[in-house]
Amino acid sequence: MGIEYERIDHVLGAVPTPCYIVSEALLENNLRRLRQVADRAGCKILLAQKAFSMYFYYPLIGKYLDGVTASGLYEARLGYEELCQHEIMDISKAAKRCENHVFSPAYTKAQMGELLDICDHIVFNSFAQWEMHKEAALRAGKSCGIRINPECSTQDHAIYDPCGPGSRLGVTPDKFAGNALEGLEGLHFHCLCEQNADALITTMNAVEEKFGASLYQMRWLNMGGGHHITRADYDVEGLIALIQRIQEKYGLTVYLEPGEAVALNAGFLVTQVLEIVENSGIMTAIVDTSAACHMPDVLEMPYRPPLCGSGELGEKACTYRLGGPTCLAGDVIGAYSFDRALHVGDRLVFGDMAIYSMVKNNTFNGMPLPAIIALDQNGAWQVIKQFGYADFKMRL
């Protein structure tokens, strides 16, 4: 976390807490890498807004990526209004078209009416949904696809595993066989979570085994998200080789829709120590940010977010458990050690807080939402949005 921390050290005393800070420089580094992968592989890469929807940066994202993908109507509207309606130029300054894709486990007819006005690709979760909306989608000239479930799990997080037993996501091979594919142009799968290319290769082998014959009839294959392409140890060469093989073999275009990889390690959450309490020999620092409200994946995954300047439990001289100010007993971020004792007023910086933070936070207990701050290439910062009591009240 050293290099990243140095990028925001100069603003720590000035910004309000709690706040999310997203670094333009770090974000653009990720985007450059994704653009290089897309160009070398000959595929298309979309922003999955479910992980990162800070539309302040959509003009920047639009310079590098081929569009956006949504999990429902509101995300689709956001992508359309904030990115695809604008003139987008790629990094070589050559004009390119922004694509707006959507997938949902089920669409209502009212939603579909709006989606057909703003989306290019519509992915259906079942043949029943396809039949319900087929006529309208084809009449509107949309490229339609079906989500498939290869029943191949490569991860241990059940909450994020769409291939687990009883999954409601995607058509399994036994339900796929015998259905007419006329009018469908693509297949879509999304089976990974924070994984490397080896997991994708394993999944793609299962897709070919169970759905390969149908790929020859398709114009595109969407490999979903969960690809940690911008992580330092990611096997980029393995990914590119796989994409090139699939595109050449089946004569189709491959899409990737990473969310985490776009903003991986590009954001921070700054918090302030409010109180220090001791119970049964455990020192707890209560901070003005909440795992339950501001970083819910800490409790859902669960995971221990990186904290600048800290060590593992017992690694450094002073160890604290960090907890939020809500009434939830389990609102605990994790245990960390420090070189010196913490004091009320100290500011702490959590890393990798751009993804699944702003899009998932909530106002449980009337907790204020963190301000959203953009940090530009020159180190200047601005508050993009600050929240207050009205933001809590309006939801009730």
Helix segments in the chain, DSSP class H: 2-8, 24-41, 58-64, 73-79, 109-118, 127-139, 173-176, 197-215, 236-250, 260-263, 291-294, 297-300, 389-393
Please work out, in degrees rounded to the nearest 5, the angle formed at the alpha carbon of residue 336 by the alpha carbons of 368 and 362.
Answer: 20
- Architecture (CATH level 2) of domain 42-263: Alpha-Beta Barrel (3.20)
CA distance 394 to 396: 6
Domain ranges in the chain are 2-22+267-353+361-393, 42-263
b/e map 346-365, b = 16+ CB within 10 Å: eebbbbbbbbbbbeebebbe
Please give the span between the terminal C-alpha atoms of the chain, in angstroms, as a whole number: 39
What is the residue-wise DSSP string for 31-54? HHHHHHHHHHHT-EE-EETTT---
Q: CB neighbours of 57 closer than 8 A, spacing ≥ 6?
A: 22, 24, 27, 374
- pLDDT value, residue 156: 84
User: For residue range 181-217, what is the model confidence (pLDDT) as tens digits?
Assistant: 999 999 999 999 999 999 999 999 999 999 999 999 9
Query: Can you give the pLDDT at residue 180?
Result: 94
The two three-digit tokens of residue 212, written as one number: 């390969």
Q: Answer yes or no: is pLDDT of 28 > 80.
A: yes
* Mean pLDDT, residues 19-36 taken together: 97
The overall pTM is greater than 0.75: yes
Question: What's the token pair of residue 308?
Answer: 């600048």
- Residue 68: per-residue pLDDT: 97
The model's pLDDT over 80-132, given as tens digits with 9 standing for 90+, comes to: 999 998 755 454 445 568 999 999 999 999 999 999 999 999 999 999 999 99
DSSP 150: -
Which pLDDT does position 92 carry in this prediction?
Answer: 47
Does CATH place domain 2-22+267-353+361-393 in 3.30.470.20? no
Contacts with 296 (C-beta within 8 Å, 6 or more apart), sequence order = 356, 360, 361, 362
Strand positions, DSSP E, 312-370: 318-323, 332-338, 347-351
Q: Which residue has the tokens 């963190």?
A: 370
Residues of the chain with pLDDT > 90, as a percent, come to: 91
In the predicted model, is pLDDT for residue 3 greater than 90?
no
Token pair, residue 124, equals: 């259906």
For 147, counting Cβ atoms within 10 Å of its Cβ (0-12 exposed, 13-18 middle, 19+ buried), the class is buried
In this prediction, residue 309 has a pLDDT band, given cuts at 50, 70 and 90, of very high
Pick from 396, 375, 392: which is nearest to 6 by CA? 375
Name the strand (E) or helix (H) holding 373.
strand 371-375
Does residue 280 sit in helix, strand or coil? coil
Which residues are CB-contacts of 208 (< 8 A; sequence separation ≥ 6)? 215
- Span 371-396, pLDDT tens digits: 999 999 999 999 999 999 999 999 99
Report CA-CA distances (Å) from 150 to 122, 213, 246, 249, 266: 20, 14, 16, 19, 32
Q: Please state, in angstroms and rounded to a whole number, the distance separating the CA atoms of residues 92 and 82.
A: 21
Residues 6 or more apart from 215 whose CB is under 8 A from it?
Answer: 187, 207, 208, 221, 246, 250, 252
